[in-house]
Structure 1
């Protein structure tokens, strides 16, 4: 059985400016990014130094890149103290192989200071180094001072030497049709993959050639292009040609029975490529990661590539990893893998303006109730912190759980400045339909609908039947809806929801004497009594509905002076009092639980799409 090892992690205890830096490697694609001088190219080359096969490919180069071919380690460096570790793991197994990249001075034999990947027992307490080496050899076939046997290619920036700039340094050799490369369909694969990145580039009858550059350690393939002479192709075209050549080399190797996968490391993968071409290239690499079991690791400054990989990382963090290094003088991996922050750092900015998340409301009433709910959450959290707590502690058995939930949701007590609030003046049916029309756009929006929008018309409960009792939604058909849609508390329109709260306070004065006495403490609210508030609703017919309540409330205006009942609601902070009760606060928690799900998905999508 062939072992399928993959690189899983890199740890740098000490290497030049790097100290205590660790990051995971994605199973398919890992991108290393950061400002110039932070050490991206070094990292990619070091990663390529832990694995390889001393076997020549069809293009003449082996699958075992040497660090000293691309970077120089000076004898004056404290290289004997450098500590770098690479962890390799097989899918579905717990066993790993840990390699320490040690540096050996072979300048006496003109080999420079080179890397020796030694099997380490660092993570094996009680196991000696010899036993660790034996275990790695027995289980994975990995020698103690040998590379992990994964064919590896490293494409350095030296590949990007324009063919026509110094023709005397370039050799182009056309291959015969009976060559092994033709027999193994290297021409067909090169044409197919190249044209998938830059459509319509290579002629149908183009012949296959091998290109050798004195500046590059690897040969590449070439096929004639439409309207572009060989020595006139651009740096971008040459870049794609070199990458496709490496892929073809791996493809040819994959035909051998013992092939189990490969690693392709590329320095500055996006050089001279149009953003659209970069996306086509990523699509190809993603496809071949599956088909040929290739792990890709590359460095980039491309905002396009960062944006695409961040999206993929959110959906599948095991397969895709973005490693962003900041602070060249002492590099570290940032914890904030959000596109806007990374873009700001690449542009040398020291501040980052987080984009606001859009939030749609049916009307101003729903918007105002939402503001009241946010204020009430803030009030309950402050009450807990001050030690005052909530009422009715003895009447519940899960107060600790409720307190923990409030503490978790406290982050939304100051959410208003982070929202771009938009009152749509549209009904719930229209907004529900709108949310499904362009998911790419509308998944970036939080839709807050009235409580009764949970149900279709015939299923909406009548508020007059539930003034003194809870509504039982068991058996009701709650609408299916996208996660970025949430509803105001309870199961009623906003006016009905608020009237139900008011009704309980004005018709149970003894139970809520604290509320009425507190109103007497302020001149603004001292004249409010339960009798006066009941009188405001005295004209309601026996079979009243929400439309009748709207008449009492009046359509909300920005100035609360325009409506007596709204002034009472605002000045009395009625929801602060209502939810300051362990028997009621669960409803507030349930609302913000749903809001959290809607906001988190919409905010993440906003960050993904905010910058281009």
Structure 2
């Protein structure tokens, strides 16, 4: 229900605006960036739902979950035992909350004269009739949960037996002690939930847990682990597995599922009351470090369960996490992801964040360090193709300056693999999961397959043929290419020099035709001889290829190659944590539409 927090001053949150969606919200950042404090501010923006008889059982269950499974939320705001001013000396309004109905409330710091502690309370405007909205809130401090199976539920009678053994304790005092213990520990047992949560919801809790772990559980009680938390105790149908043997992650998973189902119970009960029907958000679930001790596969599966419950039962969810797996998945699912950046004595919020930046910040690495090994492999048929790709990339960089920073994200694999073999590898069902992390660029005389990350060089032919054919065109036309003053002419690549090279090209073709006349096999011979000739005059042929790229007739080919490379780059960059901003927009490389009518 909270749409926006405008924090004037609270701990390291200074002049900070945080916006939330009614669905899933993810907060990340290094330690010390006040992530838990934000959860506290959200929880502090509401008051408990009271006065509705039909929802009484729901609220008892929700209150029990908060009491049994987590530290009290207020302890997050109090911090040290000694008083520390949370607002850095700022007086008056320190927080403004905007709700989804566009109403707003301002909050001030309230100092307790009794114990030198403080609280954050609404600053009600006189005669305006303001009050805190009512909303059920569950806070799960998973980062503070520790899983132990050795502890047992607190036994009041056992403690009283030991107290009775003391000679100085009379019956009146013993009765008082019993009363105190019962009041303090009244929410210590699972019976509170069992009594108020209908059996069908308890069955759903156990079924959802079984969906994750393949373990069927039955409620028994809650264990108290020191002064830190309380955890569910249960038996299972699997020998050797119970609440004492499950992992900390599975323990936390059980807590989260219980919270979700309890908020579902509240939603379904509230639908019976017309006064609750117009509420956009029915409840708020706050989870501190959702990923705590959870295997990555559980993290993703749990995210999907939370998403399902958030959408179906109008639960606003805000969780913190350090898990790169969970953050990446949340971004892909279009969740509202915020990253808190530590700036020393304050933090800033990065709303428009990508996985590259998050990796960099959380791993405390520089962009150069992170990108050092983050390169997309490009497979080609041979070295000639790689040579021409370098020239094509230089051409594209001249036309699109933003492409220069993309070039560093590619790595040409130094291997010579035929086009048919490359196609087989990239289309193999077993290998496709890994190969999709690479790009295949075949010669232009084959077909592209964008779905399999296969594109082709411009030119609709193999590299040597493109160059040889264009050299023929240059020699047959009276153009500026052979004029004195051209750089290549000054280097000795004159018209006469080119004619002698052209004769070698013709000689290869004549030899091939002679072999065919003599009924001899010519398979692969012409390509082999062409490659040899190409490598003998590589520098000159690179100049010819650049001239081909600059020819107006080829601009549609270049634009089409550029567009295809853009597509496969953005399909593969995620696997290497390459930021989308490196190449977020493709460009029209040529201004004339006539020049690019083939793209």
What is the TM-score when the length of structure 2 is the normalising length? 0.71
What is the CA–CA distance in structure 2 between the aligned matches of 1:75 and 1:176, rounded to whole Å?
Answer: 37
Offset of residue 235 of structure 1: 4.2
Structure 1 gap segments, 5+ residues each: 1-5, 90-95, 120-128, 135-142, 382-404, 455-478
Cα displacement string for residues 6-65 of structure 1 (whole angstroms, at most 9, x for unaligned residues) = 555555454322334445545543332222222121122223333454245242618999
What is the CA–CA distance in structure 2 between the aligned matches of 1:255 and 1:343, rounded to whole Å?
Answer: 40
**Alignment pair present for 1:195 and 2:187:** no
SS in 2 for 1:255: helix
Q: 1:159–1:215: 8 Å Cα contact kept in structure 2?
A: no
What is the CA–CA distance in structure 2 between the aligned matches of 1:520 and 1:604, rounded to whole Å?
Answer: 45
**Alignment pair present for 1:423 and 2:418:** no
Offset of residue 361 of structure 1: 0.9
- Which position in structure 2 is the counterpart of 1:474? none
- Which position in structure 2 is the counterpart of 1:494? 463
2:375 alignment partner, one of 347, 356, 359: 356
**Alignment pair present for 1:333 and 2:344:** no
Aligned residues: 510
**Alignment pair present for 1:554 and 2:511:** no
- Which position in structure 2 is the counterpart of 1:272? 293
**Alignment pair present for 1:563 and 2:522:** no
Q: 1:495–1:549: 8 Å Cα contact kept in structure 2?
A: no
Q: 1:365–1:555: 8 Å Cα contact kept in structure 2?
A: no
Offset of residue 101 of structure 1: 5.2
Greater share of helix: 2
Q: 1:8–1:88: 8 Å Cα contact kept in structure 2?
A: yes
Q: 1:270–1:300: 8 Å Cα contact kept in structure 2?
A: yes
- Which position in structure 2 is the counterpart of 1:107? 112
Offset of residue 511 of structure 1: 5.0
Alignment RMSD (CA, Å): 4.4
What is the CA–CA distance in structure 2 between the aligned matches of 1:490 and 1:118, rounded to whole Å?
Answer: 71
- Which position in structure 2 is the counterpart of 1:386? none
Offset of residue 491 of structure 1: 1.9
SS in 1 for 2:110: strand
Offset of residue 324 of structure 1: 4.8
SS in 1 for 2:78: coil
What is the CA–CA distance in structure 2 between the aligned matches of 1:554 and 1:99, rounded to whole Å?
Answer: 79
Q: Counterparts in 2 of 1:290-309, with a 5 A limit?
A: 290-302=311-323, 306-309=324-327
- Which position in structure 2 is the counterpart of 1:151? 136
Q: 2:440–2:453: 8 Å Cα contact kept in structure 1?
A: yes
Cα displacement string for residues 50-108 of structure 1 (whole angstroms, at most 9, x for unaligned residues) = 3454245242618999863432174744353664455544xxxxxx6264552241625
Offset of residue 298 of structure 1: 1.4
Offset of residue 425 of structure 1: 0.9
Q: Counterparts in 2 of 1:71-470, with a 5 A limit?
A: 71-72=77-78, 74=83, 76=85, 77-80=88-91, 83-89=94-100, 97=102, 99=104, 102-105=107-110, 107=112, 113-116=118-121, 144-147=130-133, 149-156=134-141, 157=143, 160=146, 162=148, 164-165=150-151, 168=154, 173=189, 175=191, 179-183=195-199, 185-202=200-217, 206-207=218-219, 209=221, 215=227, 222-225=233-236, 226=238, 227=240, 235-256=248-269, 257=271, 258=276, 261-302=282-323, 306-314=324-332, 316-317=333-334, 319-321=335-337, 323-327=339-343, 329-334=345-350, 337=353, 339=355, 342-343=358-359, 345-350=361-366, 352-354=369-371, 355-378=374-397, 381=398, 406-412=400-406, 415=407, 418-428=410-420, 430-431=422-423, 434-435=426-427, 437=429, 438-454=431-447
Change (3 A) 1:102 1:7: closer
Bigger CA radius of gyration: 2
SS in 1 for 2:319: strand
SS in 1 for 2:526: helix
What is the TM-score when the length of structure 1 is the normalising length? 0.69
Change (3 A) 1:84 1:551: farther
